[in-house]
Chain A
Amino acid sequence: MMTKTPVNNRKTTAREALFIALYQRIFPLVARYVAKRGGHLDEAKDIFHDALVIYYEKVLTTSLVLEHNEEAYVFGIARHLWTKRYKENLRYASLDQLMATFEDDETAVDKVVVTQSETAIASQRIVHVLQAAGKKCMKLLMAFYYEKLEMGEVASRFGFSGIRSATVQKFKCLQKARQVVKERSLQYEDFVE
């Protein structure tokens, strides 16, 4: 059993250092795998980035302990994504659709759909709008809900006096975001209909 690289204090700069280290150690393995199968550098880059996104979400922001080492885990995801996206020609399937077959390859294979859904495209548009509407709020929401930081860490990163004021601001941001999501979703529904 191997340990994962720690994300010290989880600030963006620490994350950048971590990504550089992972890139230098693991990208050569992925690039060699893709090159040997006739793929291009851009394809190797795309699947490697997706693999690191999954690694970040499933391992670095959780207390999950890896059974194998980091290299094997990330390389395993990249190899899976290469097979699905380029060998089975599921180029336009979303990352979540492709990953549905990673842990349970036998049963979930039929669930993968070929085209990116209208819902996913609408979500990306809403993300864009939210980003323009309030970047600080989105970064705060990301820190808590995506990076899974404790409220104490969120308070310290964003300069709040304590957990309570950070929590109040987090809920204000969430309510504001929910309102934008609702308004925009209804607008896009009108377009689709």
Chain B
Amino acid sequence: MKTSLNELQLMEDCLLQQASGEQYMLFEAKLLLDPKLQDEVNWQYKTYHIIHEYGRQQIRHELEQVHQLLFTTSVHQSFRKRILGLFHK
């Protein structure tokens, strides 16, 4: 059975703490009535965590590219020399 968009949105709003008090109450009632939903909630939390980890990895990758750009291209030669000079004193 497919979950409706409204149900997905309600679950997300509750998990990301963006729901109203009334919505929380409704969701808590659903949790009590549907044991599978609790399982879904747990995996959804973990998925949010993994997406955050993925985001971090992307940002680190972009920073590494910027580092390579600044330390290997001739246009940024003076910056590179300035930094390397700090470590060779």
Contacts and interface: CB of A to CB of B under 8 A. Distances in A.
A124 B70 CA distance: 28
A23 B70 CA distance: 9
Interface string B37-62: 00010011011111111111111101
Interface string B49-89: 11111111111101111110110000000010011101101
Interface residues of B, number: 38
Given A40-B87, A41-B83, A123 B49 contact: yes
A83 to B, nearest CB: 19
B32 interface: no
Size class of the contact patch on chain A: 35 or more
A27 B82 CA distance: 11
B55 A142 contact: yes
A16 B61 CA distance: 11
Classify the interface of chain B: helix, strand, loop or mixed: helix
Given A24-B79, A31-B87, A146-B52, A53 B47 contact: no
Contacts of A49: 60, 63-64, 67
Interface string A144-187: 01110000000000000000000110010011011001100100
A130 B44 contact: no
B8 to A, nearest CB: 5
Contacts of B48: 145
B33 interface: no
Contacts of A182: 43, 46
B1 interface: no
B5 interface: yes
A15 interface: yes
B62 A15 contact: yes
Contacts of B8: 171, 174-175
